[in-house]
Structure 1
Amino acid sequence: MLKQSLLVSSVIVALLGGFAHAQQAPVQPSPVQPSPVKRTPLGKVDVPDSNYEVVFGITELAGGFKSGRHSHPGPLLAYVTEGEFWYLVDGQPEKIYKVGESFQLPHSAIHNEGSAGSNPVKVMVVFVVEKGKPLVQPAQ
């Protein structure tokens, strides 16, 4: 009888524990949000007799997103292909570049950039950067 009582008690505890567990909301991982910045490299070539390389690519920024102050380890050339590009180089007035406009940035110039409005922006970029350094370096 004691054995049967223990068995019944164990089954009840297991069922109640399972019921309590079933009543808790399952833990769902939060959905992965797309990054507000998408960089698509299209090509890279070494600059002969130097410690530099040329990186050609497309940078896409989500609408309303501002990247934060940063620099690049070399000069760059850019051409806006979609949207309006908001641009602020330290010590200069902010600028907005529209589709078909291009601009350049000197080596290591600290700047902020992003979409000028709620629509995304796409820019073709040619980086001339020191080999082995990241394309983007956060500003201090």
Structure 2
Amino acid sequence: MSQDPGAASASGVKRTELQRHPASVPGKLIVQTLFEIPVGLASGRHSHPGEEVGYLFHGTVAMEFDDRPTFTIHAGEPFLIPPHTIHNARNITDDTTTRMLSTYLADENEPLVTQYH
């Protein structure tokens, strides 16, 4: 496991890479991460070059978008973020760090995360 430094903008927000393997699709990688957001923090606006398929296993997150309405994800629920979609995951739980497992189908020549200000 390795910490991807620059992958989260707020202090205390942590994305830990669990595995990275070549996909069966040429030029693509499958990357899986554990993403943790402490109480009151958010991931910061960002996007990924491929799909993000996720599962929130602890806490509640407001998933905010630039181009569509916010939706709320509760522990035990899956989610899917389309490629190049700018989003911000905000911990809206009162008393716990949110934890989600995210799997990406990523282009091997692009960064996994692009941050926006």
* TM-score, shorter chain, exceeding 0.5: yes
Residues 62 and 72 in structure 2, CA contact (< 8 A), matched pair in contact too = yes
Other-structure match for 1:111: 87
From 21, 24, 28, the counterpart of 1:52: 28
- Classify the secondary structure of the residue corresponding to 2:99: strand
Other-structure match for 2:113: 136
Extract unaligned runs of 5+ from structure 2.
1-9
After TM superposition, give the deviation of residue 49 of structure 1 in Å. Answer: 4.4
Larger RCO, structures 1/2 (Cα 8 Å, 6+ apart): 2
Hey, which of these two has a bigger chunk of helix by percent? 1
Residues 64 and 90 in structure 2, CA contact (< 8 A), matched pair in contact too = no
Residues 114 and 121 in structure 1, CA contact (< 8 A), matched pair in contact too = no
From 13, 37, 51, the counterpart of 1:37: 13
Structure 1 runs of 4+ with >4 Å offset: none
Distance 2:25 2:42 in 1: 36
Distance 1:76 1:49 in 2: 16
After TM superposition, give the deviation of residue 122 of structure 1 in Å. Answer: 0.3
Hey, which of these two has a bigger chunk of strand by percent? 2
Extract unaligned runs of 5+ from structure 1.
1-33
Give the structure with higher Rg (CA).
Answer: 1
1:1-140 aligned within 5 A? 35-118=11-94, 119-139=96-116
User: How big is the alpha-carbon RMSD for the aligned residues of Structure 1 and Structure 2?
Assistant: 1.8
Residue by residue over 1:3-56, the C-alpha shift from the partner in whole angstroms, topping out at 9 and shown as x without a partner, is xxxxxxxxxxxxxxxxxxxxxxxxxxxxxxx93211122111111341110001
Distance 2:84 2:11 in 1: 24
Q: TM-score, structure 2 length as denominator?
A: 0.82
The one-letter amino acid of 2:85's match is A
Paired residues, what number? 107
Q: TM-score, structure 1 length as denominator?
A: 0.70
- Classify the secondary structure of the residue corresponding to 2:80: strand
